Copies of this chain bind each other. A is one copy, B any other.
């Protein structure tokens, strides 16, 4: 599919992340407009509430859905409604279209503040990138025992914390916590010393399933509204001490950042690709009837406090995952777990096979043994206060890109210690 030309000229630039082919959804406000739903188009945000108010757009729910400070009402309507709105917007915003848009309908992106695009019902994080699992497993158990016995059979996941999922641009406090540093006889309390990122994609559940009613992989795919970039901030020293036997807890609970824009499944359709060849055939319930991964280029940049520019630390691709989000969602519901509008599923860290494709500092610095040199000449094993991390991602079409908007977060010092007693 080629570029769809838009009446918004900036959307026709082949390097724009937001052509008419994309139309990612987000929640924005301006000095005069309370948070509401919009789509990005070139250097503009299309105010869907304004279009709805003018009668040009009708999601079909019988009442407004875009006046709200979250996408949940619209997402909950389901696929036929998503398709109708997309088709209507692509017509209204096409090049040569002359219907008059309300004055307030096109807002310059530089004038808006982005908010969390949806209310996160629950957040689940997976561990479904084989290179990442192999790298981390090798560091801790040696390459022979790197993958746990279940790894090639189950998309391994754990429940994360929804209350601290934040939108790009939100600063992140270094967490306090309990840890037992390497070589130390005793456990201690204090600020995390091995603070890390994880480069992930997040799948956003649009429509759910009732408790006790599992879904197939195909049904799961249809339940997904769209995808975001996701940074699963991680406190490696807290994690190492706490994670046995029940998994990561406070090491992951302090923050998860997502991109401001949710790119729809419809926009990503041309970029579907297959999961890698299976070493063991999956059980029937997990087999994909068609390609359900996506070819999306991803990168990680770090900018230390005060530096003029950022250093690119890693470049990889979402297609490195061993399991797709549809497989993860199917597995998530297979025991009868109810999934709901607004559930967020992190893919797991995305690392390619080479060193330059690793999606976490833990892997890039090999557990701190091989510090990374930045363009500024500084070195890093883990994050320092003031470091700003940016995830970027886009799919590349024929003369256009499908982008997510950067996912940015900067590290602030740990909260002051208190008199805990």
Contacts and interface: CB of A to CB of B under 8 A. Distances in A.
Chain A: interface residue count, which band?
35 or more
Interface stretch (A109-117, A258-266, A332-340, A393-401): A332-340
A157 interface: yes
A211 B172 CA distance: 9
A171 to B, nearest CB: 9
Given A154-B242, A287-B421, A334 B127 contact: no
Given A189-B283, A284-B421, A287-B421, A336 B156 contact: no
Contacts of A166: 211
Given A159-B158, A247-B247, A150 B242 contact: yes
Contact of A336 (B157, B159, B175, B244): B175
Interface string A216-256: 11000000000000000001001001111111111101110
Contact of A176 (B121, B177, B335): B335
A164 B336 contact: yes
Nearest to A212: B173
A418 interface: yes
B420 A284 contact: yes
User: What's the number of copies of this chain in the assembled complex?
Assistant: 2
Contact of A150 (B127, B214, B244, B421): B244
Nearest to A240: B150
A122 interface: yes
Interface in A145-192: 148-150, 153-154, 156-164, 166, 173, 175-178, 180, 187-189, 192
A108 interface: no
A161 B253 contact: no
B158 A178 contact: no
Given A178-B154, A187-B153, A253-B332, A337 B163 contact: yes
Given A287-B420, A418-B214, A421-B284, A122 B176 contact: no
Contacts of A178: 153-154, 283, 331, 334
A75 to B, nearest CB: 16
A415 interface: yes
19 contacts: A150-B187, A156-B242, A159-B253, A161-B337, A175-B336, A176-B335, A178-B334, A189-B285, A211-B254, A211-B255, A212-B412, A216-B419, A217-B420, A250-B331, A250-B337, A253-B332, A254-B335, A255-B336, A284-B421
